[in-house]
Structure 1
Amino acid sequence: MKSLSKINRRTFLKGTAATAAASISAPAIVRAADRELRILTWEGYAGPEWLDKFKSDTGATVNIVYAGSADEMFAKMQGSQAADFDLVSFDTSLFPRYVDAKLIQPMDQSKIPNIKNIAPEFADVKAVMRGQDRYGLPFAWGSLPLVYDTAAFPAAPESWEVMWDEQYAQQMLWMDDANNSITLAALIVGAANPYQLTDEDFAKIKEKLIAQKKLSLSYYAGFDDGVNLFAQNGIKLMFSMGEPQVPTLVKKGIQAALTIPKEKAVGWLDCWELSAGAKDVDLAYAWMNACMDSAVGKILTEKNGYGNTTNVDVNKTAGMTYGDKLSWLETAENYEKRVAVWNEIKAS
């Protein structure tokens, strides 16, 4: 296992990524200039290496909307009852919410031949299934780690409690995300189950996060927002949105690194899902099939820093081997209550 303190020295090989892109298999669909694919996703999930090739192979127009948070993504899907998008991507904890709201539909796996490339550990994830019906295609994984400035911390902080240290007041950032913030706080306060919280747990978490708010410079939404605030304001610590923020900070001249503290960190597994309002279902399947090519997995990890589900060797080379230190997201006991509590914390 590569030391987490050295992950910031990871090299993302642009040349390798470009070479890999050339081998991505073309979707087996008929070209049609008037076809349109509408995607709601996260930054980095529609890379030009496979997006441009997909558009060239299909002749289709691809319109992409990037979400800044899980709450924003759900609101966009719910606002149009899924009619505005053909595909969406979210993590395993949110499937019941989307399925119960009838915002996504089961997949026909026979239309995704590259599904055979998914590594065994991601092939049978129970969270994406309802009986025999598959609702999600695992695509990318990672963590929400503690990012820190190595100039201020020569050794990686061992505990999340460092974000309650008053000597770093106004030099910290916290992600504006209800579910992930409350899950992390649950890990920190020692809740028995961070996904099945009691009223007593919620009270402790609310008190803990209100105390942290007083010390943070700002909440942020979106990878770029967090990176820019970190780089421009002398930030020392950040509850981050994931591994890719570290190399982006390094490019800006920040001596950034990440670590998974002793309390663990939130781990996520994002999937592609077929919107209940999909207009061109075959085009959506073609996109998912293209994304399951192992060459895309290689680019996803080497260029963007996400763990991938189709190229295990690349994960190992990139040091993405700390899954045992992550608390993989599960369905929350009451998502609406978490949003309400988080809004109370922000308004405090």
Structure 2
Amino acid sequence: MRMTRLIATLTATTVFASILVFAAQADEVHVLNWKGYGADEPWAVEAFEKATGNKVVNDFFNSEQEMLTKLRTNPGLYDVVMINAAFNDQAMSEKLIQPIDLSKIPNAADISPDKASSPMLNHDGKAYGVPWVWGLTALAINDKSFDTPPASISVMWDEARKGRVVIRDDAVEAIQFGAIATGQNINDIKDMDAVKAKLTSLMPQIRTFWSSENDWNQMVASNQIDVGTYWSGSADRAKTQFKLPVSLVIPQEGSVAWLDAFSIPVGSKNVAGAEAFINYMIDPKFYVEWVTKVGAPVSANEKAVAALPEESFNRKVMGDPEVAKRIQFQAPITDEQREKYLALWQELKVNVK
């Protein structure tokens, strides 16, 4: 009898301890995102934690494929994940993310209608992603290397820039860049041979391939490069936060555009905390501070963009209707297309010494 009581006591204690552990975990918001991309800014994390009582735990990925793999192999670990909208459909179809109750995210009401209604984020009347920011993969230049910024994408092929050109080591982005350079639609490439030929002729120009902001910024800081593909928000951060001689160029031929959104993974242990975190990330107050202190892409929240100074790049240039005509937003691609792009990209990279 005494042993039975002891077992019962131990069992009750174990259950109580488990409840305490779960409660502690439920107050944590586990976020999966690119490193240095808003969600892990120390001042932002501190403000969110102070306002909500939730503790932010950040984890990072270096590619969309790595992000998907982390979701697949760690079910229930993450509460918030940042997903390029072009990959949202795949994450949804694999049941990696769950529908979001937008009524629990008040700031979502101020997201621009075209972003909020994106078919890449909405399925069967349910939202699987909350638009956060959008931007471009355009060109960025080393200001020290140009008297006046180039207007055309052809600067990448300029013999005078040989060995001082960089491009991101990403098959999809590279192929889409080649499509723009050959006057094609990035989401409906009709002449892949033309893309291959164009990129083949670019390879002798390439100094190296980059995969992170730090790679790009270190090369321009040491004056090793003149020009290369770069993300608009990264170029803004390079100039704003690191005071580097970097300027973004949106070539006349156009640029690849992308939309990033926050989703809630299936199995999230803190959905309420996830909703609060997403709401904070799309808040105009956070966004203006992010742009001012660090540099950022364009907010999907119309009120956030309107809160920027009229002459700010993200409001004046990125909001210019003429610029809008030249950009092409990435759409989802099939696994078969991705495999073909990867095979071609691997073949092309062999020619870079």
Q: Normalising by the residue count of structure 1, what TM-score does the alignment of the two structures yield?
A: 0.81
Preserved contact between residue 302 and residue 318 of structure 1 (Cα < 8 Å): no
The match for 2:201 is 211
Name the CA shift for 1:347/1:280 in 2 (closer, same or farther; >3 Å).
farther
Q: Which moved more, 1:311-320 or 1:162-171?
A: 311-320
Query: Which amino acid in structure 2 is aligned with residue 179 of structure 1?
Result: V
Q: Which runs of 4+ in 1 moved over 4 A?
A: 249-254
Q: Which has the higher contact order (CA 8 A, sep 6+)?
A: 1
Find the aligned partners of 2:241 and 2:33 in 1 and give their Cα distance. Answer: 24
Find the aligned partners of 1:244 and 1:314 in 2 and give their Cα distance. Answer: 21
The match for 1:12 is none
Find the aligned partners of 1:160 and 1:337 in 2 and give their Cα distance. Answer: 24
Matched, 1:64 2:64: no
The match for 1:139 is 132
Find the aligned partners of 1:56 and 1:294 in 2 and give their Cα distance. Answer: 18
The match for 1:127 is 120
Q: Which moved more, 1:221-230 or 1:44-53?
A: 44-53
1:292 pairs with 282, 297, 302, which one? 282
Identity %: 27
Q: Which moved more, 1:54-63 or 1:136-145?
A: 54-63
- Residues 9-158 of structure 1 mapped to structure 2, 5 A cutoff: 33-34=24-25, 35-42=27-34, 43-46=36-39, 47-78=41-72, 80=73, 82-158=75-151
Cα-to-partner distance string for 1:259-317 (whole Å, 9 max, x where unaligned):
11111011111110111242222221121122232212222333323211221313554
The match for 2:18 is none
Preserved contact between residue 81 and residue 103 of structure 1 (Cα < 8 Å): no
Find the aligned partners of 2:346 and 2:95 in 1 and give their Cα distance. Answer: 26
Aligned length: 313
1:305 pairs with 296, 299, 304, which one? 296
The match for 1:327 is 328
- Residues 190-269 of structure 1 mapped to structure 2, 5 A cutoff: 190-191=183-184, 193-198=185-190, 201-249=191-239, 254-269=244-259
How far off is 1:148 after superposition? 1.1
Name the CA shift for 1:313/1:113 in 2 (closer, same or farther; >3 Å).
closer
How far off is 1:189 after superposition? 1.2
The match for 2:11 is none
How far off is 1:102 after superposition? 2.1
Structure with the higher helix share, 1 or 2: 2
Name the CA shift for 1:262/1:283 in 2 (closer, same or farther; >3 Å).
same
Preserved contact between residue 243 and residue 258 of structure 1 (Cα < 8 Å): no
1:272 pairs with 238, 241, 262, which one? 262
Preserved contact between residue 141 and residue 269 of structure 1 (Cα < 8 Å): yes
CA RMSD of aligned residues (A): 2.3
* Secondary structure, counterpart of 1:145 in structure 2: strand
Name the CA shift for 1:325/1:252 in 2 (closer, same or farther; >3 Å).
same
